[in-house]
Structure 1
Amino acid sequence: MHFNPSLYVVLSLLASLGSVSAVGVVGQAPGFAADTTGGGNSSPVYPKDIKELTAYLTDNSPRVIVLNKEYNYIGSEGKVSEKGCRPDSNKCPGNGGQDAINGANWCSNSKYPLSISVSYDKAGIAGIPVKSNKSLIGIGSSGIIRGKGLRIANGAKNVIIQNIHITELNPQYIWGGDAITLVNTDLIWIDHVKTSLIGRQHIVTGYEPSNRVTISNSEIDGRTSWSATCDGHHYWAILFYGTSDKVTMLGNYIHNTSGRSPKVGGTGSGTLLHAVNNYWENNSGHAFDISENAKVLAEGNAFQNVKTTLLSGREALFSVPDTGSAEACRSALGRKCELNAFGSSGAFVGTATGFLGTMKDGVSPMAASKVVASVLANAGVGKI
């Protein structure tokens, strides 16, 4: 057989990128966002640089956007030097704490006056404004967005973010940037995503309705050199604070945080959260902080070395505290609930059951004894 070197080059390139016809979203969203289709069957596009990536995400066409390399936004919008503030939390020796940019005028008060100089990368402050009907997917572990997050807002809907890593959003500063922001949207599936070295929230749903959201098989990596709690753990991890939101958290790995993992509340009817088969590890502060208007079913999760599993809000939580209470789900969900599992972790007790009938998101949980192995094998980038 005659060897054709040109054909070999083409085949090798396709193998490294993935065949165009074969590239697409893997699987279907579980949970509340099960109807999400993203860019559907649109022909995949491979942005050549950050300008093209931004253009694809922000235009009005359905898109399947494939990331096969790193897209580095750091420096693309310039640097800012201005006055910021030092919160009470930053009593860390050396440079181990987080000072604050004056985001939302947070510093402009008598408690935290504008008293120090801060210098930060402007690109990290505001996320790329993603439009409707987009699938953003990574190949292997190569799909990285550095220095800028994603913002899905203003009525945008039907978006899939799968198998990408968002990192390095001014991690030394509070208000340095959010990795993924949802405000006034619907049908969002975040799957096999990793977030790390984020200045503020890793994932946040804002005050307006985010409606149906599923976050699955993702990794919230809280390891940092700039910790609000002076221990190398990130405090601002996950904030669910929308209106009439229905959120499924399934199979995620949340580790090395110290708070807001998640904080759940909201306005109006608040956030309905089904937290199932997730793994919390090495949290030096609190995991759940449940406030006004929230309703939370937490089942089949594993907690390891979590100092405070629940800071507040047990009256809005059903945590399946014992075998007998597991049967409380049967009449509401048609199945028993799964108990949570704990290792060197604080108490996690909530017995509210009146809202269980609203938790029908179609998820069938596994036993908590299987969660650690499953999550470590599947959560994050490059595991799909």
Structure 2
Amino acid sequence: MNGIFHLRRRPAAALATLLFAALAGAGGAALADAPAAVPAALAAADCAGTPVGFASVNALGHNGTTGGAGGPVVTVTTAAALKDYAGRPGPYVIQVSGRIQLGGMITVVANKSILGVGTTAEITGGGLQLGSTTRPGNNVIIRNIRFTNASDDSISVTNKAHHVWIDHNDLSDGYDGLLDIKRESDFVTVSWNRFHNHSKSALLGHSDNYTADIGKLRVTYHHNYFDGTDQRHPRVRFAEPVHVFNNYYRANALYGVASTENAGVLVEGNYFQDVAHPIYVGYDKSGPGRVVERNNIYVNSGTPQTAGTVVEPGTYYSYTVDDPATVPATVTAGAGVGKIGC
């Protein structure tokens, strides 16, 4: 099925720092801090730069998500340089080195890979917005970056952006959402990220009145670590199908997943620990959605709400669900920055 594969991560010793496949695809050379040896299967999965889930689907003129592969490889250390390259036409592989202080949102346009170098790449004080109303943010990859103290969203996927892969980042302490996907965006994968020290983690769907999102917002969330965040993991409006699998939910104060406004969400193979309300059908003033849950583990957690039927994500792409009992160890070892094994 489109050559998509999913390989299980191994515990932390095998998950050393990095060289990205997107760099190899763009002709970049290996970084000096790449690990000496990584198990072959893990290296193949990470170094191929291939997402699992909706970002892999052949649709809307894109056969998967390749980001800036084939374009120039540049390294940025300042906000001005990041803004410049992120807004240029054509493909670019943009390596973020060190800490970059922003004063607001930077617009990222089509065919970009924004990749943190090593374990210290950080964007703070602002965030990345994928696309504007006149310049689409399609075919974008964001990996291995720490996002802190954003003045608005840390990452906003908006304005019909499609084929986006958000992978192996660390997001915390923002003002609004850590990762919001909205306004008719589509075919997105959110994988192996750590969310922490924040309330509103991952919104999917702009508002109860924004019905243009119907038929869009197809997103896969897998192997993310929702580490003590309060809510929106994700909070979904209108979208179907939304696929939430093999994520680790720990001590989420308000709820885990919320499906509203007739959204269709499949929640499978996740591990909920100390989550009083793991799944809601409807939330706050939003009308009910639909949820199918299967093969999840609930430890010291409440009873999930479910309703209706949901389109199977497997009709779009192939995937493998890890044993949910392994999820806490696998996800804590593999999610976040500096965990890409190549």
TM-score normalised by the chain length of structure 1: 0.68
Paired position in structure 1 for 2:53: 31
Larger of the two Rg values belongs to structure: 1
1:235 is aligned, of 176, 196, 199, to 199
Alignment of 1:350 with 2:341, yes or no, is: no
Report % sequence identity.
31
Alignment of 1:205 with 2:181, yes or no, is: yes
Tell me the amino acid that sits aligned with residue 149 of structure 1: G
Paired position in structure 2 for 1:185: 161
Q: Which runs of 5+ in 1 are unaligned?
A: 1-14, 74-122, 170-175, 224-233, 321-338
Q: Is the 8 A contact 1:315 1:350 kept in 2?
A: no
Paired position in structure 2 for 1:253: 225
Q: Is the 8 A contact 2:278 2:303 kept in 1?
A: yes
Question: What displacement does 1:168 show?
Answer: 1.0
Tell me the amino acid that sits aligned with residue 184 of structure 2: P
Question: What displacement does 1:367 show?
Answer: 1.2
Q: Is the 8 A contact 1:33 1:188 kept in 2?
A: yes
Question: What displacement does 1:259 show?
Answer: 1.9
Task: List structure 1 runs of 4+ shifted beyond 3 angstroms.
Answer: 15-20, 23-26, 357-360
Distance 1:248 1:16 in 2: 24
Question: What displacement does 1:41 show?
Answer: 2.6
Q: Helix, strand or coil for the counterpart of 1:54? A: helix
Tell me the amino acid that sits aligned with residue 191 of structure 1: D
Distance 1:357 1:186 in 2: 17
Distance 1:136 1:194 in 2: 14
Question: What displacement does 1:351 show?
Answer: 5.1
TM-score normalised by the chain length of structure 2: 0.76
**Structure 1 residues 205 and 359, CA gap change in structure 2 (3 angstroms):** farther
Alignment of 1:272 with 2:241, yes or no, is: yes
Paired position in structure 2 for 1:149: 127
Alignment of 1:295 with 2:259, yes or no, is: no
Paired position in structure 2 for 1:128: 106
Alignment of 1:64 with 2:33, yes or no, is: no
Question: What displacement does 1:17 show?
Answer: 9.7
Q: Which structure is higher in RCO with an 8 Å CA cutoff and minimum separation 6?
A: 2
Q: Helix, strand or coil for the counterpart of 2:203? A: strand
Considering fraction of residues, name the structure with more strand.
1
Question: What displacement does 1:43 show?
Answer: 3.1
> C-alpha offsets along residues 173-228 of structure 1, whole Å, 9 cap, x if unaligned?
xxx4101111111100000011111011011112x21110000001111x2xxxxx
Paired position in structure 1 for 2:30: 22
Tell me the amino acid that sits aligned with residue 282 of structure 1: A
Paired position in structure 2 for 1:309: 278
Q: Helix, strand or coil for the counterpart of 1:308? A: coil
RMSD over equivalenced CA pairs, Å: 2.3
Paired position in structure 1 for 2:321: 365
> C-alpha offsets along residues 317-366 of structure 1, whole Å, 9 cap, x if unaligned?
0002xxxxxxxxxxxxxxxxxx0011111111425335226753322111
* Residues paired across the two proteins, number: 280
Q: Is the 8 A contact 1:264 1:271 kept in 2?
A: no
Question: What displacement does 1:36 show?
Answer: 0.1
Q: Which runs of 5+ in 2 are unaligned?
A: 1-16, 35-45, 57-63, 207-212, 283-287
Distance 1:61 1:356 in 2: 35
Distance 1:354 1:128 in 2: 36
Alignment of 1:52 with 2:104, yes or no, is: no
